[in-house]
């Protein structure tokens, strides 16, 4: 599970209030990166 890598990181400070380490999964991160890539074209 990807969130284990983020367990000791200040997720709310990095990405916004309300996000927790358990919200950062491979799927969620992949979707976010796909959306960023699509917007940059």
26-37 residue pLDDT tens: 888 889 889 999
Distances from the Cα of 8 to the Cα of 4, 13, 23, angstroms? 8, 12, 14
Task: State the pTM of this model.
Answer: 0.51
Average pLDDT over residues 2-17: 72
Cα dihedral sign, 6-10-12-14 = negative
At 8 the pLDDT is 80
Query: What pLDDT shows up at residue 3?
Result: 54
């Amino acid at each position: 599970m990807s969130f284990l890598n983020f367990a000791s990181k200040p997720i709310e400070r990095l990405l916004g209030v309300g996000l927790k380490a358990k919200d950062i999964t491979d799927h969620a991160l992949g979707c976010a990166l796909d959306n960023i890539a699509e917007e940059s074209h």
